[in-house]
Structure 1
């Protein structure tokens, strides 16, 4: 067994978007690890969204941490009121794109950074999208909708044009799911 034992935990900072804590841990070999910093985040969702016409719905937005505007798939943080990851994904798709989807296929979940973060990202393939409303963006969001073909998405992946690593992972899972259905 390689699991560490948590001996003590102290919160250093708590906010809506970032919580940082300092842990004191004991390894199976008897070594004390102090401090070990952990960032707590809500779980996230993201999804490859395909409209009724077969086009992939992408979002382009500025990402301040990276300092550039980039092309991504829709997604975001789960709210405490979201009953499930699927509920959160449907909400994010509607808010960011204005589209509702006939089917959401779960593609699994991944750890964004298990060395220092405590959350999961749930991935989906959303199909049968219909435009049902205008975007309902958060105060700090400015999102441009971009429609591309699956072939263009593959080309973007092959040329390293998608920069968000969690989105790259979801896209690969979605493309594999699409290939396996053919």
Structure 2
């Protein structure tokens, strides 16, 4: 048997939300520790996200480049977006994000992996999909604004992405996790061993 994360919830004696933003908020919980002491824990409350490692017929990964203000860098990333609607089906959200950010659709979808991005300070859960069988979407492109207005797009061979990740040249967590996970899958049991696209996701339960 392999190792596995397990649900657990320590007692919370009080909660306040000192900041509420457009999509996320900051919460402070007073948490009872195993020794009986109580300590405050601050964390960001996040709706969750989806990300898409989209691979074309030439085994190249679709990546986009976007300015990220908190880190003051323009990062290469894989298409991704928030779960804006509570209970939203993550596959539907991923299909929407792939269309909006890359004007692309995919015929084959699998769950690549599920991750918590920064569990020490944020409850964000991300489902990373593998999408294959890419084709352009017909019609006009989705209208973009703000940071996405000058978004670049490229297709990079998976081994080149992995080399850049290990060299410290690429830093987006979904790109890093997705590229390394697919490399492990291809070296192991293959894509058919991945979970189906609508596999349950306890971190963000959804309607089928």
TM-score strictly above 0.5: yes
Of 55, 61, 67, which aligns to 2:72? 67
SS of match in other structure, 1:17: coil
Q: Is the CA contact (8 Å cut-off) linking 1:82 and 1:88 kept in structure 2?
A: no
Q: CA RMSD for the aligned pairs? A: 2.2
Moved more, 4-13 or 139-148: 139-148
- TM-score, length of structure 1 as denominator length: 0.89
Moved more, 97-106 or 133-142: 133-142
Aligned residue for 2:5?
none
Q: Tell me, which stretches of 5 or more residues in structure 2 are unaligned?
A: 1-7, 192-208
CA gap 1:79/1:115 in 2 versus in 1, 3 angstroms: same
Q: Tell me, which stretches of 5 or more residues in structure 1 are unaligned?
A: none
| Alpha-carbon separation, structure 2, partners of 1:82 and 1:175 | 31
Residue pairs, 1:56-135, within 5 angstroms: 56-80=61-85, 83-133=88-138, 134-135=140-141
Aligned residue for 2:166?
158
| Alpha-carbon separation, structure 2, partners of 1:161 and 1:69 | 12
Moved over 4 A (4+): none
- TM-score, length of structure 2 as denominator length: 0.78
| Alpha-carbon separation, structure 2, partners of 1:151 and 1:37 | 39
How many residue pairs were aligned?
181
